[in-house]
Structure 1
Amino acid sequence: MRLSVIGCGYLGAVHAAAMASIGHEVVGVDVDEQKVSSLSRGEAPFFEPGLQDILSEGIASGRLTFTTDISAATGAAVHFIGVGTPQQADGYAADLTYVHAAVGALLPHLRPGDVVAGKSTVPVGTAAELAERVEPTGATLVWNPEFLREGWAVKDTVDPDRLVVGVPAGRAGADAAQVLREVFHPAVAKGTPFLVTDYATAELVKVSANAFLATKISFINAMAEIAEATGADVTQLADAIGHDERIGRKFLGAGIGFGGGCLPKDIRAFSARAEELGRGESVGFLREVDAINLRRRERAAQLVVEALGGEPHGRKVAVLGAAFKPHSDDVRDSPALDVAVRLHGLGADVVVTDPQALENARRVHPHLAYAESLDDALRDAEAVLVVTEWDEYRRELTPEHAASLARGRAVIDARNCLDQEKWRAAGWTYTGMGRP
């Protein structure tokens, strides 16, 4: 099938390459000439495991092309909208400028029977508005939210755990749903749940899933705050309640909380939309979810200051991690960089390292110091702060090796990912989040 993908950022580039990898002919369209040039050469413009391989294969096969010319989308049976919906500069609501611009640019190139499939995360009610613009062309709008995990995005696209398609009532909606079944045939054939809903439900599925995950993370971090006040160990607490199958252990890792380009902005946009609908009280708890998340960043910085005897000025702190999570180079709303900036503001000599995200971190925070290698970051450090749980830190870095380079013996594990007994046995003062 011939497909177009409008918007080739993180979501769109992965989706385009993944669709080509399962046999479709795909054209990706973006207004950013530099990004299009990079993708056309088969070079992934960001780090995502597995993307480089399927991108190169798609380009080499001829099934995958990229362009800045929206007219190249003409003739595609399905047009996926994968542009960003960032938080508005002056509030919590989502900025839909790019979504409306993408649909507007696509309208002259739509034919009767085409399907326009929105994948961007949007406030409930957006699809219905866009459908009024699309329907006069004879095309049908559906909403097909993405559920990608950064670091696993290729797998989540090719082999998702569920597919959700919001469609209009009537024959046009049923026909469009069938087209999407054909697009995702490999997943559908293996029994992946394919859920057909109305527009509003499909839009809410995405934001409510993110709200739930954010709430679960902030819940265990709230328990970490209680654990710190009582001497309890939040990791043991999480293990114990995680055995309850109604709760589960996933997303109960206490630390400095969530970040990235999705959870923070999505829960804020959800709250803003609920207020517009006159139902702000229904998701009022999300404000506290957000507040807990931000408090843990402040707590991590506080623990470093305490480890330095209350005198951080001029003291070297090795910050291990810049990306908001491992297996990614994404530094959007990164808790790791947030804590590094806080310590820098307190006068500490902060040196940040990361296996993948240094270039992006430098672009956002050029005032920080960076080290290309872990050893350079550790050398002469008086405190070591682990803020992104890369395998290079949690499994491969030994306390003995760190001790051979660092000046001090204080390690602050802001992700609770290190073996505290090993580090303490090697002579380090180990401090975790919510751990005695």
Structure 2
Amino acid sequence: MQKNVTPSVRKLKNDQLRKHVAAIHTSGDLSLLERKMVNVLLLNAYDDLLSRRTHTLPVDHLRAMLGWEESNNVTLLKKILRTLTSTPIEFNIMEDGKETWRVMTMISFGEIKGSICTYRYDEYLAERFYDPQIYAMINLGVQRRFEGGYALTLYENCLRYKSVGSTGWWELERFKKLIGASASIYDEFKYLKREVITKSIKEINRISDILIEAEYRKIGRKVSFIRFNLTENPQKSLLEPELLDDHASIRESETFKRLREHGIGERLAIAWILQDKEQAQAVVDYVEERDKKKLIKGTTAGYIRKLIEDGADVGKSTYEINKEKTRKESFDKEKCKKVDEKKLELEAEYKRHLVTNRIQNLTMTEIIDLVEHYSIGEGRDKTKSYNPVTGKFKDAIERVSFTGWLRSQFLPEVVMNKNEFVLWLEMKNKKATVAS
């Protein structure tokens, strides 16, 4: 740990994060959610980067900062932490006229235990994050609005050039590395431009506080360089109401102000209040009462921290305890209901998937037999456009009607195989992750 350091007090307004440019530039391979997680974890730890290696954040708070207020996907949080512990960050730094190369992982440790997420930074990385010589200001309110991973990556890489109005020319290969566009399809420029550059620019200009446009430079007939010009978004005033500090009301609360008076860091105080505001208030009351009686040997801040992190019971009333218990039971019941509903929804989707496969794999003989059966029953007078040679309906309405009848026939016959259902879910989630 760095010694003899007295860090100056730094206020990060509106959830703005000073993020070292090296950390932005070397994490292009991260997905959208992983990039958002990096920024949220760093913002939470910022006040204590030089004084503590290990940092904590309530899982509920973490989900809220990621924009997951309605999601309780702890499995995905674990997956993202696992990725960050294996994601390298490279630094190329000039020291004494010579280039020094360093590499380390984004975080060195991650844990989710109960309702708390714990993580750790390497000392060197923490020092670079806290006092970068060059940094970009990333607003987490803006970040939550992004839906495309390439768009957020491009936004982060452009933001540091906001004051000069242009990124300068980047070699196209360097740009692809920064943005994480490593798929072979992007070796052909028209696909890179259409799927990555154009879509990202549209999203940035629509939802963020800056506007960007791309310029290209060719060598011969081939595009070899790209640069982005930046201006303030004239619609910024319309965006600002949505980008206001999510924690403004907490900062105005009496409990927050009292915690700060005792020397508790801003982000830590917010985290405690979000986790359990009644507990935070009760602990402050308890500590101040003991301090008046001169019963605290060390600092009040240290005592407050110990009581809160240990989950100490400092005198909640029976009414408050019962109220909290009832609220939790109600929440758990509602959560179970949503889980059950989601499970039924996924099972129904899987059955429809099986039926679709069954229909697509019908032989010509099977189709002829089914059409004949359909025509003498529910499909009477609805098979006039059917061609027995091709096995197809020329009329779209008749075709849709027959397909609906097929589904009604096959659906009751579907038998769920648990293992195959699990494999289908994994493939579905994998596709969703890749798409994000």
More helix by share: 2
Q: TM-score, normalised by structure 1?
A: 0.25
Q: TM-score, normalised by structure 2?
A: 0.25
The structure number with the bigger radius of gyration is: 2
